Homo-oligomer: A and B are copies of this chain.
Amino acid sequence: MAQTRAATIEDVAREAGVSRAAVSKVIRNAYGVSPAMRERVTAAIEALDYRPRVAARAMRGSSFTLGIEMPHIGNPFFTKIVAGANAALAGTDYQLIIAPADVDGEEGVRAIGALADRQVDGIVAISPLVSPDWLERLAGRVPVVMLGRHDRSTAYDTVTGDDAEGTRLVMEHLFELGHRRIVHLTRSEEVTRPGSGNPHAIRLEQYLAHMRAAGFADDIRVVRTGLDEEAARLDTLALLDERVPTAIFVGNDELAFGALRALSEHGLSSAEVSVVGYDDVDIASYPAISLTSVNQAGEAMGERAIRLLLERIEGRTEPIHFSVEPSLKVRNSTRPAPAEPTG
């Protein structure tokens, strides 16, 4: 079985008896091809099973590829975003590729850089740990939309949730139930650096503000953890060994599941410690779980991010900042357990 070399535009041109330029025009639907020519070329393409090499196209024009950088592929909220992004691309010539980072810090830069090196026509970056400067420079070369982070720039578009509002919803809900010993379980200090615009930074900041405003400054307790469920489980376990709060507000659902697991390992039920998450991932609504959480339309965010990219590719230059409204899904959270009856 001879390993036949894949057909090139040259082969198609020869087969159809036309020039390479003509073939190129046909595959790009460019202006200036007669119906007759189009037909012959199309037939030749069929016959030879020709597929344009993306690398060669990318050298001159576009790669018809959009990249999305994800901090952590295990987080269902991110996969929701991807599902939305993918849906927005259905029927277009573009293909979505995902570059997973899966480690805190520098990995995000690496992944985004890898995307840029592959000459994608646009990049959506999910709350990466990079400086606005770095991002602006990148956005100068290729359209970029930042998803999640709140810092703005005229160089790139943003799609965000209203994290201040989401956190307000959570805190007021817990206050109304009567909680005051509320722990906030969140990511590393690097991630939540004040002013970074990172969603977790805002949630933390607002947690602090609401605790103080409610007069619970003395009950403020921030616990740091990593980026996956297992890290959250371990850090919650450590927390519980010290002092058991009445409620835990967790930075996102994936981490909340780790906290819930720790609670259960510690013999604590959700009636004893209320847990509230963020993202309203599918399993959160699962009857046996029933996690109270802040919903933000992930699919819509992903879809919107892609649209913004496509518009930039079409030529738009003024930045657009899109925001989705969060809503609180109240589920298992309850009033704090009354103090142990004495004697």
Residue in B closest to A79 when the chains form the complex, CB atoms: B73
Tell me which residues from 131 to 155 in chain A have a Cβ below 8 Å from any Cβ of chain B.
Answer: 140-141
CA distance in complex: A87, B100 (Å): 10
**Contact between B98 and A98, CB atoms less than 8 A apart:** yes
**What are 26 A-B contacts defined by CB distance under 8 Å?**
A1-B140, A3-B140, A52-B117, A53-B119, A54-B118, A55-B55, A55-B56, A55-B59, A55-B63, A59-B59, A65-B118, A73-B83, A74-B80, A76-B76, A86-B100, A96-B99, A96-B100, A97-B99, A97-B118, A229-B282, A257-B283, A257-B286, A261-B286, A265-B287, A286-B289, A288-B289
| Range class of the A interface residue count | 35 or more
Assess whether A317 is interfacial by the CB under 8 Å rule: no
Q: Are A55 and B102 also in contact (CB < 8 A) when A83-B73, A264-B287 are?
A: no
Assess whether A51 is interfacial by the CB under 8 Å rule: yes
The minimal Cβ–Cβ distance linking A272 to chain B, given in whole angstroms, is 14
Instruction: List the 7 shortest-distance A-B pairs measured between CB atoms, nearest first.
Output: A55-B58, A98-B98, A97-B97, A288-B288, A95-B114, A55-B55, A264-B287
**Contact between B282 and A119, CB atoms less than 8 A apart:** no
Tell me which residues from 3 to 23 in chain A have a Cβ below 8 Å from any Cβ of chain B.
Answer: 3, 6
**Contact between B100 and A82, CB atoms less than 8 A apart:** yes
Which chain B residues lie closer than 8 Å to A58 at the CB level? 55
Assess whether A113 is interfacial by the CB under 8 Å rule: yes
Which chain B residues lie closer than 8 Å to A289 at the CB level? 286, 288-289
**Contact between B264 and A119, CB atoms less than 8 A apart:** no
Which chain B residues lie closer than 8 Å to A229 at the CB level? 282
**Contact between A54 and B119, CB atoms less than 8 A apart:** yes
Q: Are A117 and B51 also in contact (CB < 8 A) when A74-B79, A98-B98, A99-B97 are?
A: yes
**Contact between A117 and B53, CB atoms less than 8 A apart:** yes
The minimal Cβ–Cβ distance linking A117 to chain B, given in whole angstroms, is 5
The minimal Cβ–Cβ distance linking A124 to chain B, given in whole angstroms, is 14
Tell me which residues from 62 to 107 in chain A have a Cβ below 8 Å from any Cβ of chain B.
Answer: 63, 65, 67, 73-74, 76, 79-80, 82-83, 86-87, 95-100, 102
The minimal Cβ–Cβ distance linking A187 to chain B, given in whole angstroms, is 19
CA distance in complex: A79, B229 (Å): 14
From B73, B118, B282, A82 is in contact (CB under 8 Å) with B73
Interface flags for A157-188 (1: CB within 8 Å of B; 0: not) read: 00000000000000000000000000000000
Which chain B residues lie closer than 8 Å to A80 at the CB level? 74
CA distance in complex: A118, B65 (Å): 9
CA distance in complex: A257, B76 (Å): 14
**Contact between A98 and B95, CB atoms less than 8 A apart:** no
CA distance in complex: A91, B83 (Å): 29
Known: A73-B86, A257-B283. 10 other contacts (CB 8 A): A53-B119, A54-B118, A65-B118, A74-B83, A83-B100, A95-B114, A96-B99, A97-B99, A97-B118, A264-B288
Which chain B residues lie closer than 8 Å to A96 at the CB level? 99-100
CA distance in complex: A275, B192 (Å): 41
CA distance in complex: A59, B58 (Å): 10
